[in-house]
Amino acid sequence: MNDRIGDPLTRVDGPAKVTGRAPYAAEFEVPNLCHAVMVRSTVPAGAIASIDSAAVKRMPGVLLVMTHENAPKLPKEGRGAVNPPAGREVSLLQEATVRYNGEPIAVVVAETLEQATEAAAALLVSYGPADAVLDFEKSKQKLEPAKMTRGEPQKKWGDAQAALASAAVKIDRVYRTPFEFHNPMEPHGTIAHWKGDELTLYDATQYVDGVRNTVSKTLGIAPEKVRVVCQYTGGGFGCKGSTWSHVMLCAMAAKKAGRPVKLILQRPQMFGPVGARPITEQHLVLGARRDGKLVAVRDEIVTPTSIFENWAEPAGQPVHSLYAYPNGATDQKVSRMNIGTPTFMRAPGECTGTFALESAMDELAYALDMDPLQLRLINHADVDPSNGKPWSSKKLRECYEDAARRFGWSKRNPKPGSMREGNWLVGWGMATATYPAHRMEAKASATLNADGTYLIRSGTQDLGTGTYTICSQVAAETLGVDVRKIRFELGDTRYPKAPVSGGSMTAASVGPAVRAACLALKDKMAKGGKAPLTAEGKAEGPPQDEAQQKYAERSFGALFGEVRIDADLGMIRVPRVVATYSVGRVLNAKTGKSQFEGGIVWGIGQALMEEGVLDKRTGRVVNGNLAEYHVPVNADVGSIEVAWVEENDTEFNDLGARGIGEIGITGVAAMIANAVYHATGKRIRDLPITLDKLL
């Protein structure tokens, strides 16, 4: 049996998924269920002048048309901005104001989904429009300091201005990334069911406890009166880490209709009211000596946010920690636009930040006539350059060596345009991957059953990343039993509390809690306890954690990739990527490999395809569907070879494991852009890299 920590155990939840027995949020069976469809604004700013719902109310099956005119009045103006800027300020039909195109303005409830869909489309709304800011370039005329979800908007050490002024070689460039939208296979969806004053929500989420807290505060009910269930999540990528408008609207509609209500977002509704990665503009300046040693880096970043929340993509974070240099400065500002508030998207900040930094490092290597890998080795950070702390564990040098050897980097002809096969221009590029190591307090329980099996519970989530499996492995190894004797349950606020499944922290937080619970159970058993017997365990997190005061905690990786570009058509292919990671202890070799590969695939999409296009006249995302918002498919992805170095970061936690859910996407876009330059001699600093930019 491959049931110990690190073994490639096949997913324990796999049979339930492939046989259709795994219930997702929209699939729970609730008696007397009716269906809701959310109606969104069609103007980017102004106010609702009138909503003519009379005819809609007479349509077959219609039970309720809920608007700002009849929605339940909520405490604190019903905004629901719990713990900003991580929390969301949502739209809950409390007023007639419209702040972006696609903002929720009504909910129609009917007996069937088809009836609700038809009725929602028939709702007549007129507006008193107002001026809107829909052009990012124009929005930059008025900037304000960013309120960061992580890091600081301004950070300085040394004297970057003086060092850059005297640098022998300098790279001064602007890099841009567009709006990007999450689009998990499972859209957002909620079922709300009231029994008296108690509310049960089946919700597609990355944070069951966060949903409970937000809903209870927003609706003004006690947390213990709210139960949230999410046994399976069909992808989240950050957008399901927050509680958006539709969750509360579903609960409000169910209360008003007097029946359980299901509200599932349509695919176009995934573009706007549930967040996105915002545009980033990064003005990056690198200064170096002739031998390649960096002397200073300055990074000035602007990202758009909504007119009602200050939310910033922390794109400057890699500059603080990836390379060693004595002088640094980052400054991040936001501009206001009539858009839905942006949010976390896989590897927020690190993904966009590494595109700029790793592209600039490649440009510096060419300016120095130096191998890009050698430049990175020269500037390897043995301690965190922004604070001087030693790393809890770091094996980036080993990653460079391993991935470069497996890729065959030493055979690269450094001259752009020098490598060719028939009509294909061949380019080789490399970049560094990085993501901070996060963990928070988590709890778990372990129960010995009368039949000799064990039940382990924690109120965490499985987004498809393998939480069911790795926690089963941790429990099996800790208890010293076959994994088939373990049943792990999650996704319920009735279970011991766990943090959000975001920031790549679930394995590093919940894994140690499961271990602690199993150790406590073993202790009870050793003292003569008999089944049924239960023990609870808790894994500490900041601020109790002294390790975070002593060490810098971060993961790293080395990426090498090949592109082939049709010399006549500019068509780009990515036939192979080779990567090696330093991420602490990998808890499952099979699910870990899947996470790395999935991140790289998304990085290919970011580099070559993904771009949300905002209509500057109306404020609507014009490609708000999967027919026109392009993501990679099988034909777009070549060979991906991932590996990791042996590592056990026990300074970080007692399992030695750092999270791996997000690092896979970081550095990929830069690696591809660098390979495109090597193939063509054309430097693309504005993602995505499309045919028109090469021809």
Mean pLDDT of the chain: 96
Q: Which residue type is seen at 149?
A: T
Taking 60 as the threshold, does the pLDDT of residue 265 lie above it? yes
CA dist 344 and 291 (Å) reads 38
pLDDT digits (tens, 9 = 90+) for 531-546: 999 999 998 877 666 6
- State the DSSP H helix or E strand holding residue 99, giving kind and residue range, or none if neither: none
* pLDDT for res 79: 58
Q: Quick one: which of 138, 556, 490, 476 has its CA closest to 336?
A: 138
Taking 70 as the threshold, does the pLDDT of residue 81 lie above it? no
* pLDDT for res 191: 98
- Cα distances from 432 to residues 228, 276, 646, in angstroms, run 39, 25, 18
Which residue intervals of 123-271 are DSSP H helices? 136-139, 160-165, 208-219, 245-257
pLDDT digits (tens, 9 = 90+) for 438-473: 999 999 999 999 999 999 999 999 999 999 999 999
* pTM (whole model) above 0.85: yes
Choosing from 89, 103, 118, 662, the catalytic residue is: 662
Sheet strands side by side (includes 97-98): 97-98, 46-52, 124-129
Q: Which residue has tokens 């591809």?
A: 672
- State the DSSP H helix or E strand holding residue 337, giving kind and residue range, or none if neither: strand 327-337
Return all residues near 232 (Cβ < 8 A) that are at least 6 apart: 13, 17, 22, 23, 24, 462, 464, 491
Question: Tokens standing for 365?
Answer: 């290597």
Domains of the chain: 14-22+440-544 (3.30.365.10), 32-130+182-270 (3.30.365.10), 154-180+276-437+549-694 (3.30.365.10)
pLDDT digits (tens, 9 = 90+) for 599-655: 999 999 999 999 999 999 999 999 999 999 999 999 999 999 999 999 999 999 999
CA dist 185 and 82 (Å) reads 27
* 662 among known catalytic residues: yes
